[in-house]
Structure 1
Amino acid sequence: MLRRFRPILIACVACTMVQATVRAADKPPAAARVEARVNGTVLTPETRRPVEFAAVTLKRADDTVVVSAITDQRGRFTLEKIPAGDYAVVYGRVGGVGRTTAVFQINAARTQIDLGRLELADEPLQLKKFEVTAKQSAQLNAIDRKIYNVGRDIHSVTGTASDLLQNVPSVDVDLDGNVSLRGSDNVLILINGRTSTLMGQSRAEVLQQLPANSIEKIEVITNPSAKYKPDGTAGIINLVLKQRHDAGLSGTVSFNVGNNRRYNSSLALNFRPGPVNFFASYGVRQDDRYRAASDLRTITDPVTGVVTRAEKRTVEVSRPISHLGRLGLDYAPDAADQFGLSANYNDRRHTRRATDQNRVGGAAGILASDYDRVRYAPDFEPSTEVAGTYQHNFADEGHELKVELKSSDTKEDETNHYTNTYRTPVQAPTFDNVLVSNLERSHEASVDYARPLGGEAKLESGYDLTRESRDSDFTNAYFDSVTGAWVEDLAKSNRFILDRTIHAFYATYARTFGSVGVQAGVRPEITTTSSQLVTTGQTIPNDYARVYPSLHLTYHFAEAQEWQLNYSHRIHRPGTEDLNPFPEYLDPFTLRAGNPHLRPEDIHSIETGYSYHQDDTSFTATGYYRYTYHRFTDLTTNLGNGILLNTRENLAVNRASGLELTANAELGGHVTLNFSSNTFFNTIDASNLGYSSSRSDGSLLAKVGLTWRLTPATQLQLNTKYATARLTPQGEQRPMFVANAGLRHDLWQKQAALVLTVSDLFNSLKNENIVNTPLLHEDIVLRRSSRIIYLGITYNFGQPGKKSKDDALKFDNSL
């Protein structure tokens, strides 16, 4: 496998080095170049309220315009990469009379200019109608993250968050909605930079229901700084939700209908009469899911050598419906202080109806058992989250204090009713129930402080307290045909409680030295964990302390080019399902159990990358290496009679490395091409689990997107994804290919849009996993309903009429 990709890797690295060398040769010496930053805050003189959307222009002494910007909701602006010279800033409302600052000088000794608070009085405006046309970059790079503007994905109108993630480089989403990054499914997913109850244990379901049109951009942070929680082997995916701060009333409404009676609709409102900003949103999504799965097993008895063949074929249908609401307000009495209050509510419910056909026999093909197991399972999962925030902005730009308190509650009630109908051997039907009740509570308090230290330096520090409690209760019962009563099966019933408290402190220091940027940080944490096996009365503690350092280096060696090198230490903490030792009976032949002695994974991650961005063309190449000890792995054990137990164990060592490439280019002014690939190499050492040697393999995940602007108002989009086979500890995950298409037509100067999307054009989407050991061979295939089609409309209203971005098409590729 390594030989297969070696020519590609050599060519990519060689091209990158040649391009960097040529462009570096054309640039002037670093000592002669100055890249300064100018910032300030625009306020009203009487009320000291920030002025949002004020135009700010930097001009030379000869009145030549250098760069322009607009102020944010706090009245702030920042102008970057300013060369040496004499300048003045002109600022004012669009259509109003501008004001000009005094002339100031930028040189090698003065690279950080803070203009402080600039006063701008209220004045009536008479605006003529005009239109500004601009395109957002598909990808932006910061010192510690890559930012993807998803508005150019057409599926952002009709689809879900899962559909958007499908098109993000190095991110993969399987048929069950599980997200992986660079080959690892242990990813911390944040919403607006913070943890959320929505991204808990049921996050796969939530991502398949979260409206894509509520997301503005997706940030991928593969080596987060010490400011962020260290959870997540592969790093962090941050979903940044859209927030409007227009004066007056504004909003967006959308409605989409799909095949098989699917539909979704959302409404987002924002009202800002003055210093108080009110916002609310509501979305409903009705889905239709058809799942077909096969599980073929060949099991060899280690003592007798007898071969047993077991076959299970499943057909499942469900119509999940979800309601997602958000309500809140921000209050800014002046430019120095801002208060916030918000509440989220998510309600998901559906009823699964499934039939498992189970057949067990010997190598000669003689059936020993043949029966159907019919499942009827209503599921209800509400969750709530409330948060309060306070931010104080000191006089100097970037000097601020933030405090946040947050509490969340998630409850799941699932009632599984089973009916077993037997053909071989013939016997009367049997009935059993499994009642599942999960309650998850979380409380978090955080304090964050940031202060510029003059010049190009900045210090950030903070404290975070997190308390989590997860209570899982399983009650199994069977129907006694003799007594005519339901009897609790004590051998299969259990209750497990996990309590965890984390105290975390962090400090980061960032500074630029000309073209070089440095950010270093450290995050000490103390974690106390208690696993309560309520059924047996046993308590298992698992306390530990860690220090998580991080380091990020950047070097701008040309105007459009950058090199990065970074390192972080991360952790993967075991969850409830990982630790709960009581077996869950998925069916009579499949058990799942956790491991209360499972240790946290520790990950050391280092990566280096090169990026080039010029006009409508960009290219990045990133090489990375992860060294993981105590990595979690799924282990399948034969219990005899065709019964398998799936549990969790710690591997000795896992080494993963890869090369990530992304490229974006505009061809001929009408076609935009996006390409990304992740070539991933994995070495698994499972010697502590009884395997004599390590296993190594390579895999490739490649994505190609094409957007063709047929007319100024109409665009066609095609996205494809291909993944080669991927190594697992006991086998492999087979290759997968999927293609999606979409068409968008803008109406009324982009105030509205009609969108048509088709997911899985060729009906090729499936997951196949192979387990291959000396005593067990298992082939699991999961497919979903064929092509999913949506037709929708979205409409933006309010003042001022903001032009929508090149909204992207979103596709449904969840299984």
Structure 2
Amino acid sequence: MKTSIFILLCAFFSISAMAQNNPSLQISGKIVDTVGQKPISFATVLIKNDKKVQLKSVATSKEGSFTITGLSTGNYFLSVVIVGYQTKVISVSLTSSSKTLDIISLSASPTQLKSVSITADRPLIKQEIDRISYDVKADPESKVNNVLEMMRKVPMLSVDGDDNIQLQGNSNYKILINGRPSGMMERNPKDILKSMPASSIERIEVITTPPAKYDGEGLVGIINIITFKKADNGTNGTVNLSERFPVGGPSIGGSFTAKLGKLGIATNAGGSLNSSPLLNNTNSRITLNYPTNLWQYGNRDQSGKSGYAGTELSYEIDSLNLISAQFNYNANDNESLSNQFSSLNNTQQLIHSYQLQNNLDGTGNGIDAALNYQLGFKKDKNRLLTFSYRYYRFTNSQYNNVDVLNQVIDTSNPSVTALKDYQQENTGGSSEQTAQIDYVYPLKKVTIEAGVKAIFRDNSSNFEFLSVNPAGQFVIDPLRTNNFDNKQNVYGIYNTYQFNINKWGVKTGIRVEQTQIKANFYGAGNQLDNSSLNFIPSISVNRKFKDNSSINFGFTSRIQRPGINQLNPFVDRSNPNFESSGNPDLKPMVGQSLEVNYSRFKKASLNIGFRAIIIDNLIMPQVSTDPVTNITRSSFANTGGAKLLGINVNVNYPFTAKLRATLGAMANYGMVNGEVNGVKIDKKGLMRRAFTSLTYRASKTLQATGSFNYNGPNLSLQGTSNSFVASSFSVNKDFFNNKLTISFAANNAFSKYRKAINYTTGPNFTQESYNQNYQRNFTTSINYRFGKLKDAIKKNKKGISNNDVSEGSNL
């Protein structure tokens, strides 16, 4: 991690024991980051004699280079020091000539900084040319919270009352792990992120202007989670145990890295059990043209378990040839039992009432595996040719067994049909194979990248509906049972250029994608066969100033193809008065994004960003009520378009050497237009969130943090949601030279429940749904770090990254 704003101040000492009358020898070299091979500026380079007496010190330049002059012949020790990196010591022998060292690589420090001075704290937020990163390791609450909870603090990210993640108030984004797609995040990310301890990751990046090397999908950007996988000769690892009560449960997670000569391995794994007490929910709906009033109330309890595991392997054949592989697996199992009473009335009398008892069982799993070969070149080791292959698959299954009890029907109303006990099951999933070639060609001042890629994706769904017959047996209803298959082939080619001119940095490029889609809805006779060609340009510009400030400009075009959750025509009838389904006829969304960010890192760190987004063919839920059957149906549609104007502000300020405050705020003004049942709808609204935290470090090993998070309403074409406040207080104590940490946290201690309310309106109805979520919980956590590291694992600098599929539904 680059932390160039802190410089160790060193005194100069002269020593005469080794001096000659006219010392004229020198030592020069260049310091770079081990992972990204980026130059490290403002690192302190110290020279000591063989008696460990310091002679001179210099700071590296912007390009990471240094020169120490005025030396005599003899043996020296060269030390490289900078906050956030492990100190490196090299022995150097000077004879009759000056010496130029090979490139010196520094590895990020895996441990918390020990200095009690606030100037030794790592900055939480860093602005780069095309992204903002949040340093999770530098946040004390990372030792007790999970990754989902930490995302509430990340600039431009928010988590709503149902634990759904949003980027700039939008659900159309992609989550990557270490710059690559992962089966853990493709299927059900919020459950995995809940079970993943934040202590197992390094930072969270929000890529707001994805360069052309990324797939063209993800309208508002990419969330990239960097796990802590630094590994050297030897081993290194973390283990985290936690217990959350009265709601939640136990969880375990950790990471392990090792390097044995040319072989490197990095793994992370975890799992959790969760449960919640009985919680209440209600639905109310009023229709206007045919006046009715539907009222539903009920309760539910649920429990589940989830787990994940990931492994990366690398083998250095020699200095120019590298082979690496990845494998990830995740699975979950959820069960719930709900009871619900429904009453439908008109202005005169009861039409229909009944009680439902619903047993739900949901399971799923996902795997992905990749193989990469990287070829370097002798003349320039930064010139790389990479061949990559990836296989990915996930499956989700949902089974409902519904019993209908205490049914009362108005027999004089012909539109009312008696309900029978029924079962429904849906198994949906996706599989894909990807092949990719990337080439990096660095010149003196320009780095050129190019590549080609092919994705072969198959989305499918198999759903059944069974109703009970007069004999009490469940039989398949052929009109509500079907298979769906959707094939997407995507071919892409890209070219990017990155260069620096004085204090200006530029990253620009273009991507071209050809998409072929074939879909078949068996039994219904619906088939789809079309193709499209998209040009996706991007440009990011960074201007640095002398006062540790910079300004960034970014523009990109994006495309978002619908995912299986939006395409799946399976109709969920677990609530007979409310049906939901996907839409196999959806078309991709397209959008353009323009942003400006200003950052300044001094005693107070400041980041301000402005953004404008325009989206066409917007995919959003479309809700309507049938006046004949009194059923509200929800599906997805390309309803129209949207515009979004937003501002994001983050401030980090140290009041004293022990007390530090962080403040973040985001506001987006959204404008949505579309059509529902032939009626045009225009919706405007302000989406906002704010976060603040205060950290007090009583000593090197004891610190406490309090934080508050406010989430405002979300905006959709036909509705909105309520706002809510979340809070957290934590205390961390380190033992045994920071290897063992014991933590305690109280989350939402002031409020036992969180009310998640969604309001929906249509041409002839208004609707409100309420879900009670248990939010007060207490967590104890033990985190243990072990191992000793020396040289970092060498990894492929390129790999497959499929970030092109949408699963979201909000603006």
TM-score by length of 1: 0.82
Does the 8 Å contact 1:56/1:91 carry over to 2?
no
| 1:150-209: CA deviation from partner (whole Å, max 9, x where unpaired) | 123344334332112111122112233321111111111111111222222423333333
Does the 8 Å contact 2:46/2:79 carry over to 1?
no
The 1-side partners of 2:33 and 2:98 are apart by 17
| 1:650-699: CA deviation from partner (whole Å, max 9, x where unpaired) | 23331111111111111111111111111111112226874556332223
| 1:194-229: CA deviation from partner (whole Å, max 9, x where unpaired) | 122222242333333333332211000111111112
Counterpart check, 1:231 vs 2:231: no
The 2-side partners of 1:330 and 1:754 are apart by 33
Letter in 2 for 1:236: I
TM-score by length of 2: 0.83
The 2-side partners of 1:147 and 1:180 are apart by 16
2:304 to 320, 324, 341: 320
Letter in 2 for 1:137: P
Alignment of 1:556-635 (within 5 A): 556-614=544-602, 616-635=603-622
Match of 2:57 in 1: 65
Counterpart check, 1:342 vs 2:326: yes
Match of 2:83 in 1: none
Letter in 2 for 1:67: A
Does the 8 Å contact 2:402/2:574 carry over to 1?
no
Alignment of 1:468-479 (within 5 A): 468-479=457-468
The 1-side partners of 2:326 and 2:680 are apart by 54
Shift in alpha-carbon separation, 1:448–1:564, aligned structure 2, 3 A: same
Counterpart check, 1:772 vs 2:761: yes
Does the 8 Å contact 1:41/1:116 carry over to 2?
no
The 1-side partners of 2:94 and 2:285 are apart by 77
1:530 to 514, 518, 523: 518
The 2-side partners of 1:87 and 1:579 are apart by 71
Shift in alpha-carbon separation, 1:404–1:514, aligned structure 2, 3 A: same
Structure 1, unaligned runs of 5 or more: 1-36, 44-49, 69-77, 105-114, 121-129, 803-815
Shift in alpha-carbon separation, 1:316–1:180, aligned structure 2, 3 A: same
Counterpart check, 1:308 vs 2:298: no
Letter in 2 for 1:198: M
Identical aligned residues as a percent: 20
Counterpart check, 1:438 vs 2:428: yes
Match of 1:368 in 2: 351
Does the 8 Å contact 1:42/1:117 carry over to 2?
no
1:187 to 173, 186, 191: 173
1:390 to 373, 380, 384: 373
The 2-side partners of 1:202 and 1:593 are apart by 18
Structure 1 SS opposite 2:340? strand
Shift in alpha-carbon separation, 1:382–1:778, aligned structure 2, 3 A: same
1:406 to 374, 377, 390: 390
Shift in alpha-carbon separation, 1:230–1:292, aligned structure 2, 3 A: farther
| 1:252-277: CA deviation from partner (whole Å, max 9, x where unpaired) | 11211121471001243233222112
The 2-side partners of 1:237 and 1:100 are apart by 48
Does the 8 Å contact 1:40/1:117 carry over to 2?
no
1:343 CA drift (Å): 1.7
**RMSD, matched Cα:** 3.3
Structure 2 SS opposite 1:195? coil
Shift in alpha-carbon separation, 1:94–1:661, aligned structure 2, 3 A: closer
Structure 2 SS opposite 1:578? helix
Does the 8 Å contact 1:221/1:237 carry over to 2?
yes
Shift in alpha-carbon separation, 1:500–1:693, aligned structure 2, 3 A: closer
Letter in 2 for 1:749: N
1:755 CA drift (Å): 0.9
Does the 8 Å contact 1:468/1:501 carry over to 2?
yes
Does the 8 Å contact 2:648/2:665 carry over to 1?
yes
| 1:88-115: CA deviation from partner (whole Å, max 9, x where unpaired) | 99479956623579869xxxxxxxxxx7
The 1-side partners of 2:651 and 2:594 are apart by 22
1:211 to 187, 197, 205: 197
2:446 to 434, 457, 471: 457
The 1-side partners of 2:677 and 2:92 are apart by 72
Structure 2 SS opposite 1:207? helix
The 2-side partners of 1:99 and 1:646 are apart by 75
Does the 8 Å contact 1:42/1:118 carry over to 2?
no
1:549 to 514, 537, 550: 537
Alignment of 1:20-31 (within 5 A): none
Match of 1:249 in 2: 235
Shift in alpha-carbon separation, 1:561–1:429, aligned structure 2, 3 A: closer
Does the 8 Å contact 1:586/1:592 carry over to 2?
no
Counterpart check, 1:279 vs 2:279: no
Alignment of 1:87-166 (within 5 A): 90=78, 94=88, 97-98=91-92, 117=102, 134-166=120-152
Structure 2 SS opposite 1:334? coil
1:602 CA drift (Å): 0.8
The 2-side partners of 1:610 and 1:529 are apart by 41
Letter in 2 for 1:769: N
Does the 8 Å contact 2:465/2:480 carry over to 1?
yes
The 1-side partners of 2:661 and 2:46 are apart by 36
Shift in alpha-carbon separation, 1:143–1:118, aligned structure 2, 3 A: closer
Shift in alpha-carbon separation, 1:748–1:170, aligned structure 2, 3 A: same
Letter in 1 for 2:450: S
Does the 8 Å contact 1:705/1:720 carry over to 2?
yes
The 1-side partners of 2:581 and 2:33 are apart by 59
Letter in 2 for 1:66: V
Match of 2:13 in 1: none
Match of 2:6 in 1: none
| 1:476-515: CA deviation from partner (whole Å, max 9, x where unpaired) | 10121x2232211112212111111111111111111101
The number of aligned residues is 721
Counterpart check, 1:796 vs 2:785: yes
Structure 2, unaligned runs of 5 or more: 1-27, 49-53, 72-76, 81-86, 106-112, 412-417, 792-811
Match of 1:698 in 2: 686
